Structure 1
């Protein structure tokens, strides 16, 4: 039986095209189970069905790992540490009831539904690329492969990040099945940090004795400007105050106010600079106190980490006879930031081609599903050879 180094690439593309109707059936299946990240029971239901789907398609049951109440799946093939890790998530940003008005649909080559682009199509592509390798080259072709399907990516991967990093620790490649607007593979991503800056003051009656209060809201105004000034456009570092709140009643000097901060940075040095500055904020108004919550969430995914895998993707696309992938640097982060931050060769954006992540017009273009599934299969085999 042929090994992974003797794959018939033309047959792989044909197999992916032949599998498309079944892949669409599986995509409809996973979209039709709502899995908003903040509902852990819903995420667990989605994980249970995805686990059943994995066993049905691949003949192996994944491990179900519950970490701090969040359900994740891990399916390992062979023995020893993983040499290739496929990184997926099945939680979505969409609240319960979204399917009632945005159900799964296929029309004129476009697949729609909550999570269709981000990233349930990509997760199903992981399954079918693996299945195609088993069928074309035997079970030994996937010895060393690990498939992860996590449940909290959309809320920062707070319970799954260490699982992802541990699984990929000795890997030759981590392939991230996030989607791509325009089809470009993600060659680098900014690192992300998330903070809540809390201002503590002192309440007082706004009419009778406002001078006895210490106005947390006024201090908040100073600190929001100080934080925003940490941005560096030349280095593409963005530091953006976002949600803010404060006060209790219209006749009370606010004793507490807070604002959230979104930070994006291309390099670890920039991410650390901003972190240190936010953690060192000092009050402008005497008597106020500043409390900083949060910190660095995902490290930067720097371009040298993806360069070798991207070059192989271009070479393999030529052997498959499909369109060569393009590359792009993007500001948004993914679970690939964790593996890239640890120095593991990582290639991202291998999932659906379409548009509308987190938006009402979310969709995936069906024509790209087979060739990109074939490319993923070839990339897996290439690193397991």
Structure 2
């Protein structure tokens, strides 16, 4: 555990806010060094639009099990000065320790233990992908993640666990929209009747959009940030509002998207423009079932506590791996809490057992791969 915590300290103390490409590049150097020490190989550095990602393709180059993580964090440079890395009373604290640097160190130690026991050939078929822009929605890494997932029979995502160490077997898909309303300006006092009020059109459209949610299906469609107008005495000619939509199924994501595209103006002379769309497909429960059963079996053989699972609203890169038809199990990383918050922390006690679980699960999947990915996809076809 001392060696584990020393590796984790290195990662946490190299701050890596997603929007700072230089900081992410420096973090990638640290992750590469720590990873290579355990995996016995240097990663490939992949720089896309200035963002540095790392990929290890281990062994002969066959790709069967994909481990996915990210090394960027939400914390700005300088956070360490007020929230330094610490380990006290069995609790690790520091920016990014829970989301999700502990998960990366778990992956390196788990695979390193397999190599130590069985030689480098024990990792033949494993790919490790560590991206640098997950906290921004993976704008540059999405294609890379999806391409790697299509080559694998299983994807294991090292994001932090849910409460109590529960694995994440269902994640909502995310769609993001920018609804723009176009009207016509006029003097609000002299001749307001000559204008077309974009603020009023925004109000009409926001009500229509909010009604697209379906609580029974877990679908939320939420108008969020809005803006309109220029001065207090002018009928506004333009307005806009953002929409955050979360869904549990591909069918619901498609329904909401079609409804958003079908928005029509209420006021005569107004125009509605809808930009954006699905950002991440849902991780549907069917895509995790077989892997969860494997993990539960491994946990039982190791004498670990029974594994539980939950559905969560937040998204991860596991949405992308599942979206192309690859069985995916998420939340295999740290146990703790406070992601994106000042009380972010990791519990030390579960780390050893969960790292052993990850190691044996990888070995189990290499020895007996899951059946063809398309057979497990809930829609019967790979999503684009």
Q: Which range, TM-score by smaller chain?
A: over 0.9
1:167 Cα offset (Å): 0.8
TM-score (norm 2): 0.92
Q: Does residue 140 in structure 1 map to residue 141 in structure 2?
A: no
Q: Does residue 169 in structure 1 map to residue 150 in structure 2?
A: yes
d(CA) in 1 for partners of 2:221 and 2:118? 49
d(CA) in 2 for partners of 1:102 and 1:223? 43
Which residue of structure 2 aligns with residue 65 of structure 1?
A: 46
Which residue of structure 1 aligns with residue 269 of structure 2?
A: 287
- One of 50, 67, 78 as aligned partner of 1:86: 67
d(CA) in 2 for partners of 1:246 and 1:38? 28
- One of 163, 177, 188 as aligned partner of 1:195: 177
CA-to-partner distance for each residue in 1:197-236, whole Å, 9 max, x for gaps?
1112223333343333322111111111110000001111
For the residue of structure 2 that corresponds to 1:27, the secondary structure is helix
- One of 89, 92, 95 as aligned partner of 1:111: 92
Which residue of structure 1 aligns with residue 376 of structure 2?
A: none
d(CA) in 2 for partners of 1:146 and 1:32? 26
Uncovered stretches (5+) of structure 1, i.e. residues with no partner = 1-19
For the residue of structure 1 that corresponds to 2:234, the secondary structure is coil
Which residue of structure 2 aligns with residue 54 of structure 1?
A: 35
- One of 157, 162, 165 as aligned partner of 1:183: 165
CA RMSD of aligned residues (A): 1.3
d(CA) in 2 for partners of 1:152 and 1:321? 36
d(CA) in 2 for partners of 1:46 and 1:210? 56
Distance 1:313 1:261, change over 3 A: same
Which residue of structure 1 aligns with residue 216 of structure 2?
A: 234
In terms of mean alpha carbon deviation, does 229-238 or 180-189 score higher? 180-189
Which residue of structure 2 aligns with residue 14 of structure 1?
A: none
d(CA) in 1 for partners of 2:196 and 2:76? 39
- One of 295, 298, 318 as aligned partner of 2:280: 298
- One of 231, 237, 245 as aligned partner of 1:249: 231
Q: Report how many residues are paired.
A: 366
Which residue of structure 2 aligns with residue 220 of structure 1?
A: 202
Q: Does residue 153 in structure 1 map to residue 144 in structure 2?
A: no
d(CA) in 2 for partners of 1:101 and 1:267? 41
For the residue of structure 1 that corresponds to 2:23, the secondary structure is helix
1:79 Cα offset (Å): 2.4
Preserved CA contact (<8 Å) 1:169 1:344: yes
Distance 1:250 1:96, change over 3 A: farther
Preserved CA contact (<8 Å) 2:58 2:123: yes
TM-score (norm 1): 0.92
Distance 1:97 1:213, change over 3 A: farther
CA-to-partner distance for each residue in 1:56-105, whole Å, 9 max, x for gaps?
33221111111222211111102244100100001111222222211211
d(CA) in 2 for partners of 1:91 and 1:176? 15
Q: Does residue 314 in structure 1 map to residue 296 in structure 2?
A: yes
For the residue of structure 1 that corresponds to 2:47, the secondary structure is strand
CA-to-partner distance for each residue in 1:11-40, whole Å, 9 max, x for gaps?
xxxxxxxxx111111111111122111222
Preserved CA contact (<8 Å) 2:38 2:111: no
Which residue of structure 2 aligns with residue 102 of structure 1?
A: 83
d(CA) in 1 for partners of 2:223 and 2:142? 25
CA-to-partner distance for each residue in 1:221-279, whole Å, 9 max, x for gaps?
11111100000011111111111122223233222211111111111111100001011
Preserved CA contact (<8 Å) 2:74 2:135: yes
**Structure with larger RCO (C-alpha < 8 A, sep 6+):** 1
Which residue of structure 1 aligns with residue 325 of structure 2?
A: 343
Which residue of structure 1 aligns with residue 364 of structure 2?
A: 382
Which residue of structure 1 aligns with residue 378 of structure 2?
A: none
Distance 1:48 1:210, change over 3 A: farther
Preserved CA contact (<8 Å) 1:79 1:143: yes
Preserved CA contact (<8 Å) 1:83 1:168: no
- One of 203, 209, 214 as aligned partner of 2:191: 209
1:359 Cα offset (Å): 1.4
d(CA) in 2 for partners of 1:100 and 1:251? 47
Preserved CA contact (<8 Å) 1:27 1:116: yes
